[in-house]
Structure 1
Amino acid sequence: MNNDTTITSVILRVMREIFFAQKFIYGVAVAAMIVVAATTSATAWIMKAIFDVLSDEPDALPAAAVAAIVVTIFMSKGIAGYIQQVALTKAGNRIVSTIQRRLYRKLLQQEAAWFDATESSDILVRVTQGAQAARTVIDIIVTSFVRDALTLCGLIAVMIWQQATLSAVFLVIGPLALLGVRSVLGRVRRIMQAELVSLTEILKVIQETSAGLRVVRSFGLEPLLEARMDRAVRDVEYRSNAIVRLESATAPMMDTLAGIAIATIVLVSGSSASLGTQASPGELMAFITALLMAYEPAKRLSRMRVSLEGAFVGVRMMFDILDKPDAMLDSADATPLPSVVGEVALRRISFSYDGVHNILDDLSLVFPAGKMTALVGPSGGGKSTIMSLVLRMYDPKSGSVEIDDIDLRAVTRQSLQARTAYVGQNTFLFSASVRENIRMGKRDATDAEVETAAKAAQAHEFIINLPQSYDTPVGENGIFLSGGQRQRLSLARAIIKDAPILLLDEATSALDNQSEFLVREAIAKATIGRTTIIIAHRLSTVLAADEIAFIERGRLVEQGPLSDLLKTKTRFAGLFYSEFSSDQRDEVAGI
């Protein structure tokens, strides 16, 4: 009972939110279905006239009239069937595209923590299967409740009109099929849920193989991944076959009951004289035709609930995403961030990814306006988390992140995005050309501005040596480029944005010594007059910083200029003396 209520509520929601958005196109399809149902019933009804014309003495006028009616019926049915199919397909395709756009917009409004906790393969299945499932639900409902139900009602009316007594046999035996259908519904639901899990596993294996091919090859993991794929594919195959078996289980039930109904009708008809139900040959012909034609819509109606059960699983997965609250919306009173260089400050910040273990613990830290501040310290101390908070990928559990004393939660995201540029340690490039990847930082940038940014990032020289220069495709996530080349393109993308706040998270980690030297020069020029936050494990990258902050276990241990931190036995001084030899110290630090 509870599950039936849930299914009813899902149907009502699908119809309210999705069906009515395409009501005009579906209205055309429904009108065509009504014509199909009427002409189908008329086909059975006209059989009496056809049989009577063929049985009587030849007469051209009645024969011509019946022939004209037959042509009209079949022509109307054919045209209506065409309109029905085209309209249903058009509406269904629009539903899929509309839902997928809605799902993608919803994904863009989710906070980074949700993406961290949700596998991309699961998201892909929900977006693709959910949209298709919603279309399937509407198609089943519309075709079953309009075309099949009306067709069945029309044919039953013809049967009753021709032979009321014989029709009673069909009306008694037919509903027995519904009892058998209910027994398979629960199994269909469970199998469909398991099948979607297996589809997710297939996508996961493909993604891991594509992204980690070098690791797979170097560690000889092909047999392991092949076994995982075989198991997932085998599970999908098994469950798909199981669903087909369950859906098809209604066919033998319907066939058996139809055979019983027809046999009973034949027996009753054969003894109709003694029962006082003698019918003319034309009436029997029309009745039998209507009975046989009623079989297919009755069978489809009996399978409707089974098909809906399978589709409901995908629809629920779709609504799980659509019902998630938007986490990335601006507050009602959000205002644009002023166009200034901007001092960035963290005020008593505490933050946790899992809600239990704090990554940052009561941290206060100021990044002076127009200056470069370097974050150093052990891995896992919270340096990259600080950058994520400044970019507002997350909001702190307590405390505030501020720019010019304005809490980021009080400003519009668009204005924050316009004031910040970011280069991460895991460089990401779009599957486009070199030029388009750089232009992602400024969509209206000219070709000259793109080249200027590339030169500033020390990328121009390698770009012009590519097969198509700036128009060379970089492949999925820049697979056709080296790590250093990808990182320089990411830096060029940040430079062309010309934002007053620049965040560099291990921006030189993939560069060789020569390239690092060149990029350090590019960074030095790009950071002039900008509030810059830079993370680097190689201290040579951060020595030009105006301020150095040592972060450990989510706390600020020490902060100050390089010269001050080297005068005493600070944690940073220990790192400095361990990385540089005595011959290098005077050169790199000026002491």
Structure 2
Amino acid sequence: MFAKMISNANKTLLVRLLSENFKSQAPWYGIAIVAMIVVAAMTSASAWIMRDIVNSSVVSKDINRVFEVAIMVALIFFVKGIAGYVQSVFLSRAGNNIIAKTQKMLFSRILKQGISFYSKYPSSELLMRITTNAQAARSVIDLIVTSFVRDLFSLIGLAAVMVIQQPSLTLFSAIIVPGAIYGVRHLTKKVRKIMEQELASLGMIIQNVQETATGIRVIKAFGLENYMNARMEKYVSEVEQRSNSIAKLEAASSPIMETLSGFAIAGVVALSGIWVLQEGNTPGELMSFITALLLAYEPAKRLARMRISLETGLIGVRMMYELADHPIDLSQKDNAVELAAGKGEISFRNVNFSYKENHRLFDNLNLDFPAGKTTALVGPSGGGKSSIINLAMRLYDPESGSVMIDGQDLRDVTFESLRNRIAYVGQDTFLFAGTVKHNIGLGREGASDEEIIAAAKAANAHDFIMRMPHGYDSDVGENGGNMSGGQKQRISIARAMLRDAEILILDEATSALDSESEYLIREALTRLTRNRTTVMIAHRLSTITFADNIVVMENGAVAEQGRPAELLSRDGPYRRLYELQLLPTAEQAMLL
């Protein structure tokens, strides 16, 4: 019966879901299933005992028998209540554990993905898949367990009571089954498509809320409140309409069952009158049969609607597994080795790399970053500066050629040993939820308070931190919302200083600082970069005057490189950039 309810693709999905989750929750599901069987048995017993209730009070009129039956009724419902409680508690425990395990698995999986993965899946969609889809996994398993244990066993037990009490009437009442199956099958096809659209709209709602929270300054500055409101109303209305459509389709199974059941029960009542009045059957047998028939209605209705609910839940499960099965495009070798201690020389050898097919950025790029020296990358946007950093940190792998540190190919070493050798400060400063101390301390696990304060002082952050309400224990707010851009940048620099790695990567690390702070940070960076391999991207040439080597990148190739004074003596790209930024034009000079 179950095999005919869902498609082959969904069968495979369901088998996987059950095999990955049911075994680990077997003790809890085992207890819940036993409790469900007891509930099903007590439901059947409550129908069966109606025969004794009627016969003892109406036919035999035996008061002692009436008391015995009353005690049995109380016992049946007491046992059913206890079993129902046990079923609910252990079913919830298993379901909650499935949600927790699934969410942990999905989050661990996306953490292993490369940077390119996050351009394919926006944060709103990842959030929806980790939350809503994990709930769907639990819902599907709960549905199967309850429907195929509690409802099915209840239906079987009640059918047995009906057959024993009135076999002919049981056969007559079975006429509702084919009609119910046909009606539900028709409804299921419509539900599947609407549910997929609804999940897409839910993702847009989450995205809109996220954009509002992160871009609230832009929204306020440009008066975009009405635009954001209209967009949210559109998405919410779409979800509302689709939810109503699904509710209508799910509810449509009820009138199908109600109508068919009504005809069946009406026929049973008519025939039962003939059996009791003309055939001599006892009224207790008839009452027991009718009670069983009425009690069977609810589990039969839930089983009839099961396919609709199952198809709806499996859409979320499928989306969950799409995320879980997404190939990891940047992985660590099984036999990866530790990156050996060394001076920190970075080398690019015949590197070919592209973000898009047929659009190569680097073509046999050869470049060296000498150990213990500071190399600045300059040039127009799109020239490949950030891509060099991405490859050096192994956020991407080259298509061919190799990126090496101290002669070791980065593809041959462990991620942990590579990242332990590198400290990074980006232009898009990011702070985690928590305190100032927590954010700086993430630079090196186990750092003492004294080391954190020393790093903050070196980054010119200590003074403003001490002016905050709780000093180093002050909350930074969501992504540093309680701080200015320059303050966030200095916290990020302090975090990198605390790491004290052999290789330092700075991507516009002073871009958000005012002139005074920039001067102090440049002093700190001069100390920090001494005898340390430093790769820094800079658009403002005033920030790289202390660099040992400058590499000018244009269109994915090295246009020229050398010491600052050497490059200024040439009539090349660097000199043109320098004159463009630091020397006034004739028109500007006239205004001075």
| TM-score scaled by length of structure 2 | 0.96
Query: Offset at 1:111?
Result: 0.8
Farther-moved stretch of structure 1 (322-331 vs 504-513): 322-331
Partner of residue 590, structure 2: none
Farther-moved stretch of structure 1 (547-556 vs 64-73): 64-73
CA contact under 8 A between 2:352 and 2:401: conserved in structure 1?
yes
Matched, 1:480 2:479: no
Mapping of residues 93-242 of structure 1, within 5 Å: 93-242=96-245
Partner of residue 511, structure 2: 509
Amino acid at match of 2:337: T
Query: Offset at 1:9?
Result: 1.0
Partner of residue 555, structure 2: 553
1:353 aligned counterpart, secondary structure: strand
CA contact under 8 A between 2:51 and 2:287: conserved in structure 1?
yes
- From 569, 580, 583, the equivalent of 2:582 is 580
**Count of matched residue pairs:** 581
Mapping of residues 265-276 of structure 1, within 5 Å: 265-272=268-275
Q: Distance in 1 between matches of 2:114 and 2:260?
A: 56
- From 443, 464, 467, the equivalent of 1:465 is 467
Identity of aligned residues (%): 50
Amino acid at match of 2:524: A
Amino acid at match of 1:249: A
The answer for unaligned runs of 5 or more in structure 1 is 583-591
CA contact under 8 A between 1:503 and 1:533: conserved in structure 2?
yes
CA deviations 1:34-56 (Å, max 9, x no partner) are 00000000000011111111124
Query: Offset at 1:350?
Result: 2.0
Q: CA RMSD in A?
A: 1.5
Query: Offset at 1:354?
Result: 2.1
CA contact under 8 A between 2:57 and 2:63: conserved in structure 1?
no
Mapping of residues 123-522 of structure 1, within 5 Å: 123-272=126-275, 277-522=279-524
Farther-moved stretch of structure 1 (7-16 vs 497-506): 7-16
Farther-moved stretch of structure 1 (215-224 vs 161-170): 215-224
Q: Distance in 2 between matches of 1:68 and 1:269?
A: 29
Q: Distance in 1 between matches of 2:170 and 2:281?
A: 13
Query: Offset at 1:566?
Result: 1.7
CA contact under 8 A between 1:502 and 1:532: conserved in structure 2?
yes
The answer for unaligned runs of 5 or more in structure 2 is 585-592
CA deviations 1:76-104 (Å, max 9, x no partner) are 10000000001111111111111000000
CA deviations 1:159-195 (Å, max 9, x no partner) are 0000001111112223321110000111100010000
Q: Distance in 2 between matches of 1:348 and 1:239?
A: 54
Q: Distance in 2 between matches of 1:2 and 1:258?
A: 21
CA contact under 8 A between 2:435 and 2:476: conserved in structure 1?
yes
Matched, 1:80 2:83: yes
Q: Distance in 2 between matches of 1:354 and 1:77?
A: 63
Amino acid at match of 1:423: V
Partner of residue 74, structure 2: 71
1:346 aligned counterpart, secondary structure: strand
Partner of residue 568, structure 2: 566
Query: Offset at 1:579?
Result: 2.6
Farther-moved stretch of structure 1 (495-504 vs 571-580): 571-580
Cα 1:223–1:390 change in 2 (3 A) is same
CA contact under 8 A between 2:330 and 2:396: conserved in structure 1?
no
Q: Distance in 1 between matches of 2:291 and 2:98?
A: 38
CA deviations 1:192-223 (Å, max 9, x no partner) are 00001110110111111111111112222222
| TM-score scaled by length of structure 1 | 0.96
Q: Distance in 1 between matches of 2:295 and 2:581?
A: 87
Query: Offset at 1:342?
Result: 1.4
CA contact under 8 A between 1:46 and 1:286: conserved in structure 2?
yes
Query: Offset at 1:59?
Result: 3.8
Q: Distance in 1 between matches of 2:273 and 2:32?
A: 42
Partner of residue 588, structure 1: none
Query: Offset at 1:324?
Result: 1.7
Partner of residue 587, structure 1: none
